Structure 1
Amino acid sequence: MRKKLSLYLILSPTFIFLIIFTYLPLLRSLTDSLYDSRYSVEGEKFVGLDNFYRLFDDPIFWLSLKNNLLYILLTVIPSILLALGLALALWENKRVNRWLRTAFFFPTIIPLVSAATIWTFIFIPNLGLLDYYLAKWFGPMNTNYLGMSNSALLALSLVGIWKFAGYYMLFFLAGLQAMPSSAREAAVMEGASRWQIFYHITLPLLRPTINFVIIIALVYSITQIDHVVVMTQGGPNHATSVMLYYIQDLTLNSHDIGKASAATFVSLILLFSFSIVNLRILEKGVHYEH
């Protein structure tokens, strides 16, 4: 009983924080989604699932969901591949590698708002660094990358990759350094190539780390929208309106709390589903005996 009680006491702060900052907000979001509290309605009126019906009838919601899924593909996959490549290249604990790790990690400590401001200057038509260097190869450039629907989301994705790839690199470095060297040494003695060692030994042993990084990257790709607010404000023509920005716009500009709560609850369900699928797929074969 004392052992059980001590365990509960140790875990109680975590339970309290989970209840206050996770489960209660989730319950509040679900409750608010059942009421209509727009300024056009006097007080709060119980409307049941009407907010969900209005949400699913809104084409901007589906466009924001599509943009968010596309943004996930444009940021999560490239940033994880880049982070893994950097970790493999900087695996050895050399002095130059330590300096390079610091350099690649540096964007992580820059606030996303500041990073968005920096990249806004880079994307300025004709005057920005991107057009300046492209003009040397292709002639005078005057491309409004943030003002065109077919390039604005891609520009935001570049900011996300630049900002978080170094952060994910640290997890891969930790995973690589924690792996037992005996398996790789045995493979080298058997004459395995570098690619065979990576594909058959390193990559399988890194699967728990990859699993964790993918979940973190999914959360960041949905919750980090400071650069959207600073650089495009959801434009042009809602081309960069992602789910969290759509929810923020409903709350602050339309004052449609019920519909925003419904969108929040749907987003949480989708994120939870992504996480479950990811765990089911990547957890297979991740446990090894030492």
Structure 2
Amino acid sequence: MQAAAARAGNAGAGQRAIHAWLLLLPALTLLVAFTHWPAVATLIDSFYSTPRGSRPGVWVGLENYEVMWDDPVFWHAVRNNLWFAGATIPLSIGLALVMALWVNERLAGRTLVRMAYFTPTVLPMIAVANIWLFFYTPQYGLLEQITGSLGLPSHNWLGDPSTALAAVTLVAVWKEAGFFMIFYLAALQTLNPSLKEAAAIEGASRWYFFRRVQWPLLMPTTLFVLVNAVINAFRLVDHIFILTRGGPDNATTLLLYHLYEVGFKFWDTGYAAAITVVLVAVLASVALVQFFVLDKRVHYR
């Protein structure tokens, strides 16, 4: 009797396992087909030359990586991307936090303010780039009209290598801050209101309450936002394509845009695959450091 019951239990467990795998099969198929296999195929392609017409690609080993190492445009894009990430990540996160703290307070018309902050996020990236292209247009753009009314000289913001990358950075911060604000706002609304009441009774200032209470409790959200901000800083291509196309003189060429040009403009798929492997490896390493190093400093409730 006990043996029969054990066999029946094992059979039931096996059927439940089969049902579970069948339910997971559609998601696993899509994940493998559109994520894991393309990543493996890109890694393999990075060791082959680019096929030309009827001539297939041949094994070249690390030649594509050597070309990348000797490519000055690649290193220029790396420097630009590091500058871009170093500016957009703290600015977008800091601005998002400030906006979330403000619209979380009881102020008149806060629903409209929240909508105004979040509107850039829902706009298509191409539309955003075209809006800011009008702002930056020399002589008759909105920014030129403002500076002209103040008696300042005309300036080609996107055509000057010294200001082009900063102008693109401003667009990215304007686009991302509202998106990150939503996460901070949701986290602030989950905090216990009694914490603020107790701090007010103790005579704590707003800055002290934020630094000692709110900021530590917001660290899980900050870690999540930080991971997304880092990824976004290395995957920008739409704005570059519309605003500057990497110019002037590669002043705004970022890694992903350089990858786009190599793969689709110059049609060097082998070299593009090598750049992709390096970019994915760098982002994966940064994400692992964030989760396994910074996560230890995060306090979850």
Structure 1 position 91, deviation (Å): 0.4
CA distance change for structure 1 residues 204 and 221 in 2, over 3 Å: closer, same or farther? same
Superposition TM-score, scaled by structure 1 size: 0.92
Q: For the structure 1 residues 140 and 286, does the alpha-carbon distance in structure 2 shift closer, same or farther, using more than 3 Å as the test?
A: closer
- How far 1:189 moved relative to its partner? 2.8
Query: Which amino acid is 1:200 matched to?
Result: R
Kept in 2, the 8 Å contact 1:207–1:283? The answer is no
The CA deviation string for residues 226-264 of structure 1, in whole angstroms up to 9 with x for no partner, is 110011111111111111111110111211111100000
CA distance in 2, matches of 1:268, 1:84: 28
Pick the aligned partner of 1:100 from 109, 113, 120: 113
Measured against aligned partners, the alpha-carbon deviations of 1:38-85 in whole angstroms (never above 9, x if no partner) come to 539932110011111111110111111111111112212111111100
Q: Is the 8 A contact 2:263 2:272 kept in 1?
A: yes
- Residue in 2 that maps onto 1:23: 36
SS, match of residue 137 in structure 2: coil
1:165 paired with 2:177, answer yes
CA contact (8 A) 2:147 2:154 kept: no
The one-letter amino acid paired with 2:186 is A
Specify the alignment match of 1:229 in structure 2.
241
Aligned position for 2:195:
183
Please give the alpha-carbon distance, in whole angstroms, between the structure 1 residues aligned to 2:220 and 2:21: 27
Q: For residue 218 of structure 2, what is the amino acid of its counterpart?
A: L
Residue of structure 1 in register with 2:72 after alignment? 59
CA distance in 2, matches of 1:206, 1:8: 37
CA displacement, residues 251-286 of structure 1 (integer Å, 9 cap, x when unaligned): 112111111000001000111111122223432243
- 1:1-290 matched pairs, under 5 angstroms: 1=13, 8-37=21-50, 39=52, 42-92=55-105, 96-137=109-150, 139-289=151-301
Distance 1:190 1:10 in 2: 54
Q: 1:200 to 1:248 in 2, by over 3 A?
A: same
Q: TM-score, normalised by structure 2?
A: 0.89
Task: Say which SS state the counterpart of residue 35 (structure 1) adopts.
Answer: coil
Contact 2:125–2:239 (CA<8 Å) still a contact in 1?
yes
Output the CA distance in 2 between the equivalents of 1:286 and 1:209. 10
What is the count of residue pairs matched by the alignment?
A: 288
Distance 1:27 1:111 in 2: 31
- Name structure 1 gaps, 5 residues minimum: none
Looking at structure 1, the residues matched to 139 and 113 of structure 2 have their Cα atoms a distance apart, in angstroms, of 31
- What's the RMSD between the two structures over aligned residues? 2.0
Aligned to 2:126, what secondary structure does the other structure show? helix
**Shift in CA distance, 194/12, structure 1 to aligned 2, threshold 3 Å:** farther
Contact 1:211/1:283 (8 A) holds in 2? yes
Shift of 1:8: 4.4
Write the distance in 1 (CA, Å) between the matches of 2:71 and 2:122: 37
Q: Assess, with a 3 A threshold, how the Cα gap between structure 1 residues 206 and 11 changes in structure 2: closer, same or farther.
A: farther
Query: Which amino acid in 2 is paired with 1:85?
Result: V
Q: Which runs of 5+ in 2 are unaligned?
A: 1-12
- How far apart are the structure 2 equivalents of 1:95 and 1:25? 50
Q: Which amino acid aligns with 1:262?
A: A
